[in-house]
């Protein structure tokens, strides 16, 4: 990391195609954000105030997917201006919910939705940042939570490699003593194939995980799919669940394609 003139590392938070929810995770840090701003110079973070999108920084956080020609060009400049590039959230890591359009003819979607599609400058696909430039660290989640972001910032500031999450959501359920909603209530929970990071937030409130933190390592989505069929889901419902947030990347999205191919349209 290059020492900045002020002696503090410089940070930017950039927005691409997204809902702003991951930037809100930063703002939700509250007092921790104030403490963070004493340790770093936040030079670009439009949602919080500072605007200098072309500034050279030590760490650039990127929210959102690449879904327009402008974004294809802009991410190259963000990469060139950043020492370390960290993607935050589902859109930036895998293309997000908007990547569902990749499964069909993107130009046809535009014609179906907009009366004058010629005025819409949009790519036919939505893709994660790593498909366009080198990414140094990915933080998954829809949205990420503030604890994850803060832990990553601290690790990067002290020059320690951030610890990757490897456990599945089920492990957090067991550690925190949550009653399993799949076993006890027959809810179609994706915890067995989803990486944790959220602390099993949904099962803690008695509802099923829908996989927003992305596919876990060594996931067995086909085995879970058969279990979900056993609960009464149709094959296309299983495909929809697997493809919901992370259709564009990882074993669960790929399983969604298989279940769709064998069971009809997702």
| Binding interface with ligand SF4 (CB under 6 A) | 169-170, 173, 178, 180-182, 189, 191-192, 194, 198, 200-203, 209-213
Tell me the closest approach of the beta carbon of residue 189 to ligand SF4, in angstroms: 3
d(CA 259, CA 139): 27
Q: Give the shortest CB-261-to-ligand SF4 separation in angstroms.
A: 25
HEC secondary structure over 11-49: EEEEECECCCHHHHHHHCCCHHHHHHHHHCEEEEECCCC
What CA dihedral angle connects 151, 30, 98 and 88, to 10 degrees? -20
Q: DSSP letter string over 62-92? A: EESBB-SHHHHHHHHHHHHTEEEEEEESHHH
Least distance in Å: CB of 74 to ligand SF4? 28
Q: Least distance to ligand SF4 from the beta carbon of 163, Å?
A: 18
Residue 123 or 189 having the CB closest to ligand SF4:
189
Sign of torsion over alpha carbons 255, 260, 263, 266:
positive
Cβ nearer to ligand SF4, comparing 44 with 168:
168
Least separation in angstroms between residue 208's CB and ligand SF4 is 6
Q: Which residue is nearest to ligand SF4 (CB)?
A: 191
Nearer to ligand SF4, 23 or 81 (CB): 23
Instruction: Considering the complex, state which of residue 75 and residue 200 has its C-beta at the smaller distance from ligand SF4.
Output: 200
Residue with Cβ nearer ligand SF4 (209 or 251): 209
């Amino acid at each position: 990391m290059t020492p900045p003139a002020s002696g503090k590392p410089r940070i930017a938070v950039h927005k691409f195609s997204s809902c702003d929810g991951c930037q809100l995770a930063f703002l939700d840090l509250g007092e921790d954000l104030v403490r963070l701003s004493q340790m770093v110079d936040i030079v670009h973070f439009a949602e919080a105030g500072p605007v200098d999108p072309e500034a050279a920084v030590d760490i650039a956080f990127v929210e959102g997917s690449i879904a327009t020609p402008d974004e294809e060009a802009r991410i190259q400049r963000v990469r060139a201006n950043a020492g370390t590039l960290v993607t935050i959230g589902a859109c930036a890591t895998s293309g997000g919910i908007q990547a569902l359009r990749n499964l069909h003819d993107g130009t046809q979607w535009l014609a179906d939705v907009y009366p004058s599609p010629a005025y819409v400058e949009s790519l036919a696909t939505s893709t994660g940042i790593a498909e366009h430039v080198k990414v140094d660290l990915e933080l998954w989640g829809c949205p990420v939570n503030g604890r994850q972001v803060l832990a990553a910032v601290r690790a990067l500031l002290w020059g320690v490699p951030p610890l990757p999450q490897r456990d599945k959501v089920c492990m957090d359920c067991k550690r925190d003593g949550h009653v399993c909603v799949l076993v006890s209530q027959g809810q179609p929970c994706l915890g067995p194939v989803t990486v944790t990071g959220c602390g099993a937030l949904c099962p803690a409130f008695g509802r099923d995980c829908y996989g927003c933190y992305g596919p876990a390592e060594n996931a067995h989505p086909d085995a879970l799919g058969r279990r979900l069929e056993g609960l009464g889901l149709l094959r296309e419902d299983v495909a929809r669940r697997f493809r919901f947030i992370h259709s564009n990347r990882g074993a669960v999205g790929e399983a969604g394609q298989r279940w769709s191919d064998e069971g009809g349209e997702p």
